[in-house]
A and B are shown apart, each in its own frame.
Chain A
Amino acid sequence: MNDRKIPEDLTKDQLLAMYRRMRLIRGFEDTAQRLFENGEIGGFLHLSQGQEAVPVGTCTALRPDDYITSTHRGHGDVLAKGCEPKYMFAELYGRTTGYCKGKGGSMHIADFSQGIIGANGIVSGGLPIITGVGLSIKMRGTDQVAVCFFGDGATAEGGFHEALNLASLWQIPVIFVCQNNLYGLSQPFSETAYDCDLAQRARTYHIPGECVDGMDAIAVYRSVKEAVDRARSGGGPTFIEAKTYRFLGHYVGDPALYMPPEERKAWREKDAIAKLGTQLRAWDYLTEEEDEAMAASVQAELEQGVEYARSSPIPAPEEALDDVYVHFDYAGNPR
């Protein structure tokens, strides 16, 4: 087994950080689900338990000044890029201390100070936008890169094709990371296209395309790292399809009757967090005690985050009228 071989391209600290971040995402999602089911938070909640290896593997290959766009199922992506749970919980609670001051909620969490251009409630919405981010990097002459996270559901949208065409035409430093969790809401991905080989589809746009095991954070990291190195050195865009799985339904409240029980069980057995934990122990990077201590510290961070959100100020209702324009109030008066 490769599990015996210690990676040479990732340090122990990096690997432990990846492991902790994946557990933080899982814990965040589990906590958010509980809060939603308790009625403490509302709106829509699209959770990503099972998909943690993709954002964490990807963002481990990024610098703080690189950009990401994300999706309606974006908690894991933005956490992987650096969002803090306490400000995310505050957003889910609709508090003034949330990333979007309570105006965005789960589907719009963004932190522009960390290049997190935001989750997006429109399937494929981030794809055309990422071409502009890439164009901006190129025009400004920096060596940043931009990652676009999107789901398999986005691949049948027009915006997907327009974005791949522009990225290829302009040779911009963009990495398209498709989190193929096999379902667009209830629709199996296999029923959405005659040919479901997405990497092949990307190659028709002359974009290097690769399919990776999205349940293996290290494999994702390596694939993205190669793409990032290529993009930074002027080599243009890359397309990565990460095959992964959504352990739960489309949103909290969806029993996911369309996902066969045996399929769900098989993917649960591929859990990327358990896999990395096993590897870390095999490499003597992590003792049982350290593993438990990490679990406790993740739990404490999440609990403190929830407490921070609960004790944060509720916005005045009339704050709904702010932030519509930069130069005018919502009624059009200059400010």
Chain B
Amino acid sequence: MREISYRDALKEALKEEMERDERVFLLGEDIADPFGSAYKVTLGLSPIFGTDRVIQTPISEQGFTGAAVGAAITGLRPVVEYMYIDFTTMAMDQIANQAAKFHYMSGGQAQVPMVMRTQGGPGRSSAAQHAQSLEAWFHHLPGLLVAMPATPHDAKGLLKTAIRLDDPVMFVEQKLLYNTTGPVPEEEYTIPFGLADVKREGTDCTVVATSMAVLKALKAADLLAAEGISIEVVDPRTLFPLDMETIVESVKKTSRLVVSHEAPERGGFAAEVVAQVSDRAFDYLDAPIQRVCAPSVPPPFARNMEDYVMIDEHKIADRVRKLVQGEI
């Protein structure tokens, strides 16, 4: 199978869905050529579809999010881009009180088929306002769906599904994933929301990981395999809806669980997984559930401090090793 980048996989999804459905259009800052967006996902789309469908907005997150809500509830299917997930703060009323609530508070009359693409995560010394991982906020909001693809294959398949759904979707990419490559079929495919993917099978410990943490967990699996420890890496792919069946089945098999993400540990998505596994698979556990997440501090600037707070394969492997060896 051909290999393409995460960036190109996303671009293909946008292009194919815009060709398929003329109601789909893009809205965001600096998304038209020649700049083509900060991480170049939309580069090359405005020459194809024109600036009437690749609408470059002023720096006006509240304004263009509201515009997307208004367009979505009157028959169009906008895909907005927040350059950094940190900037969603500027649009929070429109995301949390409007997009997420319209279907419910109108008694089911309104549908809000909009996708909010954005990216987060540390690793480039971007500091406290350009490197956060805020997915837990959106995961917490009834009315929103949240996708977090880790691979080019998942990025394309999930984005195509997100655009076709009639519910608002927060679609969280990761800045260091854009240049990663992986197999992506040439032919049409979509990936349903709420279907986890077992990225690697194993027997001694389950690692549930999201986004960049999936790649780190897979590296940890290689390190541990050399020591004779076998881990199963489960990627939920969508935080909500969440495929607990696959996670619970894996825990029943391995009897141990580590949950990992780049976001701060306190109140993070991992806590939800831990709680649900405690509810549904407590009797199958041989050890306490562990979280490998960032400490609850803002992302620091200095490279060595950023490395210190970021998760990596060694931190995941160390925790798994301790669990399997009975030290926790």
Which A residues lie at the B interface, using CB under 8 A?
A: 67, 98-104, 108, 110-112, 117-118, 120-122, 125, 127-137, 139-140, 158-159, 162-163, 165-166, 169, 322-328, 330, 332-334
Contact partner of A327 (CB less than 8 A), chosen from B67, B72, B167, is B167
Residues 113-149 of B, flagged 1 when their CB comes within 8 A of A and 0 if not, give 0000000000000000000000000000011010000
- Measured between beta carbons, the chain A residues less than 8 angstroms from B55 are 135
List 25 A–B pairs whose Cβ atoms lie within 8 Å, in order of A's numbering.
Answer: A100-B109, A103-B104, A103-B105, A103-B107, A104-B105, A110-B109, A111-B109, A112-B106, A117-B74, A118-B105, A129-B67, A131-B67, A132-B68, A136-B70, A136-B76, A139-B71, A139-B76, A165-B63, A166-B67, A324-B103, A326-B166, A327-B166, A330-B142, A332-B194, A332-B241
Q: Is A162's CB under 8 angstroms from B107's CB?
A: no
**Does B62 belong to the interface (CB within 8 Å)?**
yes
List 7 A-B pairs, minimum CB-CB distance, nearest first: A128-B66, A132-B70, A332-B241, A162-B63, A100-B107, A101-B107, A132-B67
Q: Is B70's CB under 8 angstroms from A128's CB?
A: yes
- Measured between beta carbons, the chain B residues less than 8 angstroms from A111 are 109
Instruction: Report the stretch among B5-13, B91-99, B316-324 that lies at the interface.
Output: B91-99
Task: Give chain B's interface residue range (CB within 8 Å of chain A).
Answer: 35 or more
A140-B75 contact in complex given A127-B66, A324-B143, C-beta closer than 8 Å = yes
> Residue among B62, B73, B108, B109 with the most chain A CB within 10 A?
B109
Report how far A327 CA is from B74 CA in the complex, Å: 19
**Does B52 belong to the interface (CB within 8 Å)?**
yes
Chain B nearest Cβ from A208, distance in angstroms: 20
Contact partner of A166 (CB less than 8 A), chosen from B60, B105, B110, is B60
Whose C-beta in chain B lies nearest to the C-beta of A131? Answer: B67
* Majority SS at the chain A contact face: mixed
Q: Is A134's CB under 8 angstroms from B70's CB?
A: yes
- Measured between beta carbons, the chain B residues less than 8 angstroms from A323 are 103-104, 107-108
Report how far A323 CA is from B66 CA in the complex, Å: 21
Whose C-beta in chain B lies nearest to the C-beta of A326? Answer: B166
Known: A128-B70, A165-B63, A324-B104. 10 other contacts (CB 8 A): A112-B110, A118-B102, A129-B94, A137-B74, A162-B66, A325-B145, A326-B165, A327-B165, A327-B193, A334-B192
Contact partner of A110 (CB less than 8 A), chosen from B57, B72, B110, is B110
Report how far A110 CA is from B102 CA in the complex, Å: 10
Q: Is A326's CB under 8 angstroms from B167's CB?
A: yes
List residues of B (227-257) whose CB comes within 8 Å of A's CBs.
240-242
**Does B65 belong to the interface (CB within 8 Å)?**
yes
Q: Is B69's CB under 8 angstroms from A325's CB?
A: no
Whose C-beta in chain A lies nearest to the C-beta of B238? Answer: A332
Q: Is A325's CB under 8 angstroms from B143's CB?
A: yes
Whose C-beta in chain A lies nearest to the C-beta of B242? Answer: A332
- Measured between beta carbons, the chain A residues less than 8 angstroms from B110 are 110, 112, 117-118
**Does B326 belong to the interface (CB within 8 Å)?**
no
A133-B167 contact in complex given A103-B104, A158-B62, C-beta closer than 8 Å = no
Whose C-beta in chain B lies nearest to the C-beta of A132? Answer: B70
Q: Is A99's CB under 8 angstroms from B75's CB?
A: no
- Measured between beta carbons, the chain B residues less than 8 angstroms from A131 are 63, 66-67, 70
- Measured between beta carbons, the chain A residues less than 8 angstroms from B165 are 326-327
Q: Is A169's CB under 8 angstroms from B241's CB?
A: no
Whose C-beta in chain B lies nearest to the C-beta of A333? Answer: B241
Chain B nearest Cβ from A319, distance in angstroms: 10
- Measured between beta carbons, the chain A residues less than 8 angstroms from B97 are 121-122, 125
- Measured between beta carbons, the chain B residues less than 8 angstroms from A322 are 108
Q: Is A99's CB under 8 angstroms from B194's CB?
A: no
Contact partner of B240 (CB less than 8 A), chosen from A121, A137, A332, is A332
- Measured between beta carbons, the chain A residues less than 8 angstroms from B107 are 98-104, 323
Report how far A333 CA is from B193 CA in the complex, Å: 10
Report how far A135 CA is from B110 CA in the complex, Å: 18
**Does B25 belong to the interface (CB within 8 Å)?**
yes
Report how far A128 CA is from B190 CA in the complex, Å: 32
Report how far A30 CA is from B64 CA in the complex, Å: 38
Chain A nearest Cβ from B277, distance in angstroms: 16
Q: Is A117's CB under 8 angstroms from B73's CB?
A: yes
Q: Is A328's CB under 8 angstroms from B167's CB?
A: yes
A128-B108 contact in complex given A117-B73, A139-B76, A165-B58, C-beta closer than 8 Å = no
Q: Is A67's CB under 8 angstroms from B105's CB?
A: no
Q: Is A129's CB under 8 angstroms from B69's CB?
A: yes
Q: Is B58's CB under 8 angstroms from A132's CB?
A: no
Q: Is A133's CB under 8 angstroms from B74's CB?
A: yes
Report how far A328 CA is from B169 CA in the complex, Å: 13
Q: Is B72's CB under 8 angstroms from A108's CB?
A: no
Report how far A133 CA is from B78 CA in the complex, Å: 12
Report how far A110 CA is from B103 CA in the complex, Å: 11
- Measured between beta carbons, the chain A residues less than 8 angstroms from B66 are 127-132, 159, 162-163
- Measured between beta carbons, the chain A residues less than 8 angstroms from B290 are none
Whose C-beta in chain A lies nearest to the C-beta of B100? Answer: A324
Q: Is A132's CB under 8 angstroms from B62's CB?
A: no
Whose C-beta in chain B lies nearest to the C-beta of A69? Answer: B70
Q: Is B64's CB under 8 angstroms from A125's CB?
A: no
- Measured between beta carbons, the chain A residues less than 8 angstroms from B25 are 139
Chain B nearest Cβ from A75, distance in angstroms: 16
Whose C-beta in chain A lies nearest to the C-beta of B72? Answer: A132
Q: Is B74's CB under 8 angstroms from A132's CB?
A: yes
Whose C-beta in chain A lies nearest to the C-beta of B142? Answer: A324
- Measured between beta carbons, the chain B residues less than 8 angstroms from A121 are 97
Q: Is A135's CB under 8 angstroms from B71's CB?
A: yes
- Measured between beta carbons, the chain B residues less than 8 angstroms from A134 are 70
Chain B nearest Cβ from A88, distance in angstroms: 13
Report how far A130 CA is from B74 CA in the complex, Å: 10
Chain B nearest Cβ from A155, distance in angstroms: 15
Report how far A227 CA is from B94 CA in the complex, Å: 27
Report how far A137 CA is from B76 CA in the complex, Å: 10
Chain B nearest Cβ from A3, distance in angstroms: 40
Q: Is A328's CB under 8 angstroms from B108's CB?
A: no
Report how far A120 CA is from B73 CA in the complex, Å: 14
Q: Is A67's CB under 8 angstroms from B106's CB?
A: no
Chain A nearest Cβ from B123, distance in angstroms: 30
